[in-house]
Structure 1
Amino acid sequence: MADKSAIEWTEATWNPTTGCDKISAGCDNCYALTLSKRLKFMGSAKYQNDGNPITSGPGFDVTIHEDALDIPRRWREPRTVFVNSMSDLFHARVPLDYVRRVFDVMADTPRHTYQVLTKRAFRLAKLAPMLEWPTNVWMGVSVESEDELSRVDHLRTVPAAVRFISAEPLLGQLDNINLNDIHWLIAGGESGQGARPVDPEWVRGLRDRCADAGTAFFFKQWGGRTPKAGGRLLDGRTWDEMPARALMPALSLF
Structure 2
Amino acid sequence: MADRSSIEWTEATWNPTTGCDRVASGCDNCYALALAKRLKAMGAGKYQNDGDPRTSGPGFGVTIHPESLDIPRRWKSSRVVFVNSMSDLFHAKVPKDFVHQVFQVMAETPQHTYQILTKRSHRLARLASELVWPPNVWMGVSVESADVLDRADHLREVPAAVRFLSCEPLLGPLPRLDLTGIDWVIAGGESGPHHRPVHPDWVRGLRDHCAEQGSAFFFKQWGGRTPKTGGRVLDGRTWDERPSHAAQACLSR
Q: Aligning the two structures, in what range does the TM-score lie when normalised by the shorter sequence?
A: over 0.9
- The 5-angstrom pairing of residues 199-210 of structure 1 reads 199-210=199-210
The separation in 2 between residues aligned to 1:60 and 1:145, in whole angstroms, is 24
Q: 1:117 to 1:168 in 2, by over 3 A?
A: same
- Residue by residue over 1:163-197, the C-alpha shift from the partner in whole angstroms, topping out at 9 and shown as x without a partner, is 00000000000000000000000000000111000
The answer to whether the 8 A contact 1:78-1:250 is kept is no
Deviation at 1:4, TM superposition (A): 1.3
The separation in 1 between residues aligned to 2:248 and 2:103, in whole angstroms, is 17
The separation in 1 between residues aligned to 2:104 and 2:249, in whole angstroms, is 20
Give the secondary-structure state (helix, strand or coil) at the position aligned to 1:59. Answer: coil
Give the secondary-structure state (helix, strand or coil) at the position aligned to 1:82. Answer: strand
The separation in 2 between residues aligned to 1:200 and 1:58, in whole angstroms, is 35
Corresponding residue for residue 121 of structure 2: 121
- The 5-angstrom pairing of residues 74-153 of structure 1 reads 74-153=74-153
For 2:67, give the aligned amino acid. D
The separation in 2 between residues aligned to 1:252 and 1:37, in whole angstroms, is 36
List, as ranges, runs of 4+ consecutive aligned residues in structure 1 with deviation greater than 4 Å: none
Corresponding residue for residue 60 of structure 1: 60
Size of the aligned set, in residue pairs, is: 247
The separation in 1 between residues aligned to 2:70 and 2:198, in whole angstroms, is 39
TM-score by length of 2: 0.95
For 1:227, give the aligned amino acid. P
Identity percentage of aligned residues = 72
The separation in 2 between residues aligned to 1:89 and 1:14, in whole angstroms, is 11
The separation in 1 between residues aligned to 2:248 and 2:173, in whole angstroms, is 33
Deviation at 1:245, TM superposition (A): 2.6
1:190 aligns with 2:190: yes
- Residue by residue over 1:62-85, the C-alpha shift from the partner in whole angstroms, topping out at 9 and shown as x without a partner, is 000001000000112111000000
For 1:184, give the aligned amino acid. W
For 2:98, give the aligned amino acid. Y
The answer to whether the 8 A contact 2:136-2:161 is kept is yes
The answer to whether the 8 A contact 1:113-1:248 is kept is no
The separation in 2 between residues aligned to 1:225 and 1:48, in whole angstroms, is 28
For 2:5, give the aligned amino acid. S
The answer to whether the 8 A contact 1:4-1:12 is kept is yes
For 1:199, give the aligned amino acid. H
CA RMSD of aligned residues (A): 1.3
The separation in 2 between residues aligned to 1:167 and 1:7, in whole angstroms, is 14
Q: Which runs of 5+ in 1 are unaligned?
A: 51-56
Deviation at 1:2, TM superposition (A): 3.4
For 2:33, give the aligned amino acid. L
Corresponding residue for residue 156 of structure 1: 156
Deviation at 1:250, TM superposition (A): 4.3
1:232 aligns with 2:232: yes
The answer to whether the 8 A contact 1:112-1:248 is kept is no
Q: Which runs of 5+ in 2 are unaligned?
A: 51-56
Corresponding residue for residue 53 of structure 2: none
